[in-house]
Amino acid sequence: MQTLRVIARLLEYPTAELQAAQDELVAAVLADDRLPPQQKHALLTCIERLCVGNLMDLQENYVSLFERGRSLSLLLFEHVHGESRDRGQAMVDLMNHYAEAGLELDVRELPDHLPLFLEYLSTRGWQEIRTWLEDIHHILGLLAERLHQRESFYQLPFDALLTLAGQAPDRQELATLVAAEERDDTPEALDKVWEEEMVKFLDDQGESCGNSNFVGQRRQELDQVQRVHLSDELMQDAMKQQIGGA
């Protein structure tokens, strides 16, 4: 299903290649016979915003939305399992689905990364697509509302996915829920995360918590590599569970 591949591209980090593919993206959306005109128009609006806007501004906006805090993480299991070990097994199960479909991961992303998951779905039949999207519609609805309250055009692809899932979340209920959440992308919230990571790191290493120079250095390192470190750790955990279950 080409529309899923289009949405996958729209939810990835903006690049010059994406902007150069505007005509192909538009053609794929217009050819879709499952989306109503309103949703097609919404996706075309999103494509225009991403393909015509200033690339550096778009990249900065993407990072500020999806790479700071966990509330808008595009890692699906982040919203289900957090950092529990259940997440590792869930990723093993998902990787098995990919393998059974004859797909191999050739990118440095976790298997539950939404754009990657949508790429997989684009190769499946409609009934299977619908079933998978129904299974994650609660996550899609929550992300759509959070983006809506941040006045982001990235809400539009999530609305399209909900339409394809045949789901209409209770917007009022979601709005109330999200409005009561504490933002996790503010400087204060990010400082708290860094401090928690520092405490965990120092506990693991048996270092003194009084070394302020060391703390400052590690804070900078965590700021630069936090996501990659998390990905490697979870992948290793997933692989251990897979080997252990063999």
Q: Which single residue is written with the structure tokens 């919230």?
A: 189
CA distance 76 to 117: 9
What amino acid is encoded at 167 in this protein? Q
* Dist. CA 177–CA 218, nearest whole Å: 35
The Cα–Cα gap between 27 and 177 comes to: 37
Position 244, amino acid: G
The predicted structure's pLDDT at residue 242: 39
Would you list the DSSP string of 144-185?
Answer: HHHHHHTT-TTHHHHHHHHHHHT----HHHHHHHHHTSPPSS
Taking the C-alpha atoms of residue 87 and residue 93, their distance in angstroms, rounded to an integer, is 10
| pLDDT for position 192 | 53
- pLDDT tens digits, one per residue of 26-58: 999 999 989 999 999 999 999 999 999 999 999
What is the C-alpha separation between 201 and 34, in angstroms, rounded? 49
Task: Examine the pLDDT at 85 and tell me if it is beyond 80.
Answer: no
The band of 84, judged by pLDDT with boundaries at 50, 70 and 90, is: low
DSSP 3-state assignment of 113?
strand
pLDDT at 119 over 70: yes
Is the pLDDT at 60 greater than 50? The verdict is yes
Rounded to whole angstroms, how far apart are CA atoms 10 and 4?
A: 10
Query: Is the full-model pTM beyond 0.75?
Result: no
Helix (H, G, I), strand (E, B) or coil at 33: coil
If you average pLDDT over residues 59-67, what whole number do you get? 93
